[in-house]
């Protein structure tokens, strides 16, 4: 022991290490490692010794930052990609919080533009302006959080009308988008008459990190259609692949999430069938919405995969919609609660779309102005 003391400056510490360790072999091994360690250490000590503390603090801060923040932010995609360039043969890339090789963003927003066809008449100025506001709103949101955005033109709706199946364009667009973004996890369908009121909220924080807490799998608590609650073979232990909302009239597909999965592709395929539509096209006023309700009511493989979000979480209504139940707080946008999205559903049926979107766009600007931005104006 004393030899060691004489040999190395740091002998004392070794003494302390090996007080109880009398095995010679391990001593020499330890000795060697310790020696190497101190060599390196001394080097650093002389070179950057003074800033070591700062480095440690820096390291801790960086570590905590990466740990706490959810994920690195990838680039935004705004539907600029050539369809041919997306090859389907690429295997599923590994996607983790830390390491992402995927080309596609985790979330892609699908915005339906040109609703109603745009074939029968010219769009007027206000309609152009509404479209402009709505698209700019989603663009800014997608850019902020690194999500994808793809704008789908519904101008070809009329092509579907000879088979009474206008609503089915939605399914076709979703299928097409799934091919375009093979690695994306979730697609968020948004109608044009929507505004994201709280662009600061990310989809992860707002929905997907607490998905089990905010979704309801059954209709027990809210059942505007009075559908049968119990259904044989429904398995609620399965993961949700389709997140929708219900308004006063039943299922609402103005804003919903669908997962990029085999189940979803099968569902989109089964959604439309000529037999069901031949029987129901006079009854089903809301086309694909009614068809989904029918599938939900009767087929367990559909019911097992659907989750219901509260309407106000992704699809809050202005007072004009659902006006028969205007005292029910479950439906309507509330600025005090900072509801995420407002959907001016049905505003072109006797309501003033332009007025409503202006009102909510101004409100959004007001709500999201920080105190320091006022300094610059």
Residues interacting with other proteins, by CB under 8 A?
Answer: 10, 12-13, 15-17, 19, 41, 45, 49-50, 52-53, 56, 60, 63, 67, 209-213, 217-218, 230, 232-237, 262-263, 265-266, 269-270, 273-276, 279-280, 294-295, 298-301
* SS3 state of residue 348: coil
For helices 24-48 and 52-68, what crossing angle results, to 10°? 100
Residues 6+ positions from 83 with CB-CB distance below 8 Å: 179, 180
**Which lies closer to other proteins via its Cβ, residue 129 or residue 211?**
211
**Which lies closer to other proteins via its Cβ, residue 218 or residue 325?**
218
- Determine the Cα–Cα distance for residues 283 and 76; give it in Å rounded to an integer: 42
**Which lies closer to other proteins via its Cβ, residue 216 or residue 337?**
216
Best CA proximity match to 308, nearest among 250, 214, 244, 225 = 244
**Closest distance to other proteins from the beta carbon of 47 (Å):** 12
**Which lies closer to other proteins via its Cβ, residue 212 or residue 324?**
212
**Closest distance to other proteins from the beta carbon of 352 (Å):** 38
Record the tokens describing residue 70, joined without a space: 């959810």
Ranges of beta strands (E only) in the chain are 77-78, 107-113, 148-153, 186-190, 194-196, 242-247, 250-259, 306-309, 341-343
Q: Are 360 and 344 in contact (CB under 8 A)?
A: yes
**Closest distance to other proteins from the beta carbon of 227 (Å):** 13
- Determine the Cα–Cα distance for residues 206 and 197; give it in Å rounded to an integer: 13
**Closest distance to other proteins from the beta carbon of 55 (Å):** 11
- Determine the Cα–Cα distance for residues 235 and 230; give it in Å rounded to an integer: 11
**Closest distance to other proteins from the beta carbon of 152 (Å):** 21
**Which lies closer to other proteins via its Cβ, residue 232 or residue 350?**
232
**Closest distance to other proteins from the beta carbon of 302 (Å):** 8
Q: Are 344 and 190 in contact (CB under 8 A)?
A: no
**Closest distance to other proteins from the beta carbon of 49 (Å):** 6
């Amino acid at each position: 022991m004393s030899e060691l003391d004489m040999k190395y400056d740091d002998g004392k510490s070794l003494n302390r290490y090996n007080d109880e360790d009398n095995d010679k072999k391990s001593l020499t091994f330890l000795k060697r490692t310790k020696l190497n360690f101190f060599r390196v250490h001394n080097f650093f000590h002389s070179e950057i010794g003074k800033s070591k503390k700062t480095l440690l603090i820096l390291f801790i801060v960086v570590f905590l930052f990466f740990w706490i923040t959810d994920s690195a932010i990838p680039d935004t995609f705004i539907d600029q990609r050539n369809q041919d360039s997306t090859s389907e043969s690429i295997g599923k890339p590994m996607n983790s919080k830390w390491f992402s090789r995927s080309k596609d963003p985790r979330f892609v927003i699908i915005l339906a533009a040109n609703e109603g066809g745009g074939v029968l008449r010219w769009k007027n100025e206000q309609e152009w302006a509404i479209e402009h506001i709505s698209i700019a709103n989603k663009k800014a949101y997608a850019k902020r959080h690194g999500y994808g955005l793809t704008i789908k033109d519904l101008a070809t709706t009329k092509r579907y009308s000879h088979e009474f199946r206008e609503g089915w364009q939605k399914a076709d667009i979703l299928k097409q988008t799934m091919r375009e973004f093979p690695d994306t996890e979730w697609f968020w369908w948004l109608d044009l008459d929507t505004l994201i009121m709280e662009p600061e909220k990310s989809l992860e924080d707002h929905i997907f990190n607490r998905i089990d807490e905010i979704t309801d799998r059954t209709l027990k608590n809210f059942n505007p259609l009075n559908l049968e609650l119990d259904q044989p073979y429904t398995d609620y232990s399965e993961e949700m692949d389709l997140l929708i909302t219900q308004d006063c009239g039943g299922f609402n597909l103005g804003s919903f999430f669908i997962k990029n999965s085999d189940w979803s592709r099968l569902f989109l395929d089964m959604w439309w069938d000529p037999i069901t539509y031949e029987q129901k096209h006079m009854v089903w006023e809301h086309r694909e919405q009614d068809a989904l309700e029918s599938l939900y009511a009767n087929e367990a493989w559909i019911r097992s995969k659907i989750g219901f979000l509260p309407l106000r979480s992704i699809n809050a209504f202005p007072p004009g919609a659902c006006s028969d139940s205007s005292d029910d707080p479950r439906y309507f946008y509330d600025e005090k609660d900072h509801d995420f999205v407002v959907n001016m559903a049905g505003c072109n049926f006797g309501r003033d779309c332009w007025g409503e979107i202006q009102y909510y766009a101004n409100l959004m600007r007001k709500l999201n102005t920080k105190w320091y931005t006022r300094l610059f104006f």
